[in-house]
Amino acid sequence: MKLALSGNEAAAYAMKHINPDVVPAFPITPQTEIMHNFAGFVADGEVDTEMILVESEHSAMSAAVGAASAGARVMTATSANGLALMFEIVYIAASTRLPIVMTVVNRALSGPINIHCDHSDSMGCRDSGWIQIYSENAQEVYDNIIIGMKLAEDMKIRLPVMVCQDGFITSHSIDVVEPLEPETVKNFIGEHKAIYPLLDVENPVTYGPLDLYDYYFEHKRQQVDAMWYVKPTLRQIFADFSKISGRAYDIIEKYFVDDADQVIVTMSSTAGTAKAEVDELRKKGQKAGLLKIKLFRPFPYEEVSEALKNAKHIAVLDRSLSFGADAPLYSEIKSALYNQNKKICSYVFGLGGRDINLEDIKKVFSEIQKLDNTCHDIRFIGLRD
Amino acid sequence: MVNIKEFSSREERLSSGHRLCGGCGAPIIARMVTKATKDPVVIVNATGCLEVATTIYPYTAWKVPWMHNAFENAAATISGIETAFRALKKKGKIKKEIKFIAFGGDGGTYDIGLQSMSGAFERGHKFVYVCYDNEAYMNTGIQRSGATPYGASTTTAPAGKVKQGKEQFRKDLTSIAAAHHVPYVAQAAPSEWNDLITKAEKALNADGPAFLNVLSPCPRGWRFPENLTIEISKLAIKTRFWPLIEIENGKWTLNKDITKPLPIKEWIKSQGRYSHLLKPGNEAIIEKIQERVNKDWEKIKKLCS
């Protein structure tokens, strides 16, 4: 059944179909609608979930860590400053190996305060040990949350997952979404299996001990190992998911990339805009292509390297910055291509929700065609002088 | 009233062999509180002395399920655990009754964890929050907190040539907790073991959040010999420095009336953190502390009448 849903509504539907045990929540724009919708499902008895309406995002993630350690299936959502306030506990959730799924509705971090989209919030957490999946549209939001839940709870992985979508652009735009049957989702994700739950009082465990130089390093290494299981496991989950949904996904998405001379690499909703421009340019005979990065953590270096082997000119479009260093996505792409002699350029766009349109994308494709060398300065799209 | 013979026969939940300092009040309090119920307990511990010294990996001194998350979020963490318990019980996945206890020092409770505790109280989670109040950030090296008493010397508000220790009075956290209108709030001290265990029992059986503020003498931070912990605790009661009170469903009770209080100078004389106050010229500071003790006592008497 096809429904007209916003990205936030799609996220709430995915949560409804997963029917988690506990959802701690705190309001922040543009994430709020997810919890409005989900609270409605709770109020109507459509889910069994206990919500904890906490007094801050710090407490939301703290309660999520507590509930997941207790043995519950836990989900939450946030944006921007809310994620920043959670930051300390975001790391603890990952290092405690808790399979929490959190929707991050990407929004610019303060200051100055701004409520619109960029990726500075989730990029700030890229080294926290969470798996990060970025969604292009509302359908992907719904699918990625369900896929993310199954991935997080995989026995070899047991890591939390951030499912990101673009604030307002995706979260508040109405899109066509085809949800699965609740029963199908239930069977797909299966029963939640707790590991060493705190509530198993017959088998007491100590969580979060003081871990010094004699063991801490080995525990970090275990997190590294868990991350390496993500790519093969996610590929298997994508394959299984396509059987129940008819929708095929991969950790990167190649759109006319194989024979392309010019390739734009980007994430989330901008991938949709770029696809439309690729269609236009292909009609005119330009060999343009788009590479969408869906899985940002762990980063698919080999896949990117392989995908871009034929490209002559590459533009990486970041919706966030790293002041005094390469922008996050560009930094990874450059790293993936370190042994290929590519002409590659870093573009930063859309900070604080500034729009990016087909003309902007067209201009990038045109500019990089003339690239003689890798450009050394960041180019800004749609920025006043 | 607690039967000491029966109580002492109960299984310990915090075992010996932990690495807290000799004479520390915290494990005495933790043992008494956790043994005050025969139901299974799940514990959350804020970052602090009790946490670091009982769980240095790969060892643990806890014989019951225990979790440390961070410094400021013991109450939020136990909110999550208690909610998970209700969610799983509703689904028939858990049958037993379980009690939930959060421990935090004064830094983790009066200061950095206050918001988290306030939120958990307002939401009505069924748990007991126990503040072991040693009146400074002892784990990080005796820094002043919102619980440090007026005039005490700490590493961040030391007595010096122009300053005489902390220049502010402590906040009244017990009243702040009571202002949430939770079913049970009490102030206790380890020397009054019967009072403390009785209060812990009431807190654990309360139908909603409960708060215990327990004075926890600290030989290192307060500067007194390790064998005097219980004596120092008694002195806090006898000087009216730490009144034993409870607020049960809004009703205030003074559990131990001190009709002939010792002067506060006796309390001050007992600890090195106040030694500068005994120097000539600082008499007015002691007088100011005495006045505050008198005023607080009058206020409590009125509330308990």
Query: pLDDT tens digits for A263-294?
Result: 999 999 999 999 999 999 999 999 999 999 99
User: What are the pLDDT digits (tens) for B92-105?
Assistant: 999 999 999 999 99
Smallest Cα distance from A24 to chain B, Å: 8
Predicted pLDDT at A338: 95
User: What are the pLDDT digits (tens) for B169-203?
Assistant: 999 999 999 999 999 999 999 999 999 999 999 99
Sign of torsion over alpha carbons A232, A233, A236, A237: negative
Are A158 and A27 spatial neighbours (Cβ–Cβ below 8 Å)?
no
Residue A139 pLDDT greater than 80, yes or no: yes
Q: Using CA atoms, how far apart are residues A303 and A290, in angstroms rounded to an integer?
A: 14
**Which residues in chain A are closer than 8 Å to B122, comparing Cβ atoms?**
55
Closest CA to B24 of B52, B3, B4, B2: B52
Same domain, A215 and A270: no
Residue A374 pLDDT greater than 80, yes or no: no
Q: What is the mean pLDDT of residues A188-217?
A: 98
Same domain, A219 and A265: no
User: What are the pLDDT digits (tens) for A298-324?
Assistant: 999 999 999 999 999 999 999 999 999
Q: What is the CATH number of the domain that holds A274?
A: 3.40.50.920
Residue A373 pLDDT greater than 80, yes or no: no
**Which residues in chain B are closer than 8 Å to A88, comparing Cβ atoms?**
70
Measure CA of the first residue to CA of the last residue in chain B; give whole Å: 23
Of the candidates A204, A219, A244, which is a domain's last residue? Answer: A244
Same domain, A222 and A262: no
Closest CA to A9 of A46, A38, A39: A38
C-alpha separations of A231 from A123, A227, A333 in Å:
20, 8, 17
Pairing state between β A131-134 and A161-166: parallel
Range of the domain at A311: 252-380
Q: Dig out the tokens for A297 from the structure.
A: 């953590």
C-alpha separations of A188 from A12, A191, A232, B265 in Å:
18, 9, 18, 70
Q: What is the mean pLDDT of residues A33-45?
A: 98
Confidence bin at A46 (pLDDT 50/70/90): very high
Q: Using CA atoms, how far apart are residues B58 and A209, in angstroms rounded to an integer?
A: 8
Are B146 and B171 spatial neighbours (Cβ–Cβ below 8 Å)?
yes
Are B197 and B114 spatial neighbours (Cβ–Cβ below 8 Å)?
no
Same domain, A295 and A171: no
Are B220 and B49 spatial neighbours (Cβ–Cβ below 8 Å)?
no
Percentage of chain B exceeding pLDDT 70: 100
Q: Using CA atoms, how far apart are residues B285 and B163, in angstroms rounded to an integer?
A: 11
Same domain, A221 and A332: no
Smallest Cα distance from A193 to chain B, Å: 12
Angle (deg, nearest 10), helices A57-70 and B74-90: 50
Strand partners, B104: B131
Q: What are phi and psi of B99, to 5 degrees?
A: -100, 150
Q: Does domain B4-304 have CATH number 3.40.50.970?
A: yes
Q: Are B84 and A67 in contact (CB < 8 Å)?
A: yes
Of the candidates A214, A244, A274, which is a domain's last residue? Answer: A244
Whether A385 is covered by a domain: the verdict is no
Confidence bin at B2 (pLDDT 50/70/90): confident
Contacts with A158 (C-beta within 8 Å, 6 or more apart), sequence order: A97, A98, A99, A152, A195, A226
Domain boundaries, chain B: 4-304
Confidence bin at B229 (pLDDT 50/70/90): very high
Of the candidates A222, A244, A266, which is a domain's last residue? Answer: A244
Residue A376 pLDDT greater than 80, yes or no: no
Q: Dig out the tokens for A148 from the structure.
A: 């993310």
Same domain, A265 and A216: no
Domain count, chain A: 2
Q: What is the mean pLDDT of residues A357-378?
A: 91
User: What are the pLDDT digits (tens) for B282-300?
Assistant: 999 999 999 999 999 999 9
Predicted pLDDT at A60: 98
Smallest Cα distance from B29 to chain A, Å: 20
Q: What are phi and psi of B294, to 5 degrees?
A: -60, -45
C-alpha separations of B148 from B47, B60, B101, B186, B228 in Å:
18, 30, 24, 19, 20
Same domain, A240 and A258: no
Closest CA to B296 of B175, B184, B188: B175
Q: Are A59 and B79 in contact (CB < 8 Å)?
A: yes
Same domain, A221 and A306: no
Smallest Cα distance from B91 to chain A, Å: 8
Q: Using CA atoms, how far apart are residues B258 and B256, in angstroms rounded to an integer?
A: 6
Confidence bin at A385 (pLDDT 50/70/90): confident
Residue B1 pLDDT greater than 80, yes or no: no
| C-alpha count within 13 angstroms, C-beta hemisphere, residue A119 | 27
Q: Dig out the tokens for A160 from the structure.
A: 């939390």
Token look-up 């590294």 returns: A224
3-state helix, strand, coil in chain A (%, to 5): 40, 20, 40
How many Cβ pairs closer than 8 A exist between chain A and B?
Answer: 161
Per-chain mean pLDDT for chain A: 97
Nearest residue on chain B to A87, judged by CA atoms? B70
Q: Are B123 and A52 in contact (CB < 8 Å)?
A: yes
Same domain, A68 and A199: yes
Which of A26, A53, A192, A199 to mutate against chain B (most B CBs within 10 Å)? A199
Q: Are A62 and B116 in contact (CB < 8 Å)?
A: yes
3-state helix, strand, coil in chain B (%, to 5): 40, 15, 45
Same domain, A257 and A227: no
Nearest residue on chain B to A74, judged by CA atoms? B84
**Which residues in chain B are closer than 8 Å to A205, comparing Cβ atoms?**
65-66
Three-state secondary structure call for residue B272: helix
Give the one of B68, B73, B88 whose C-beta lies nearest to A59's C-beta.
B73
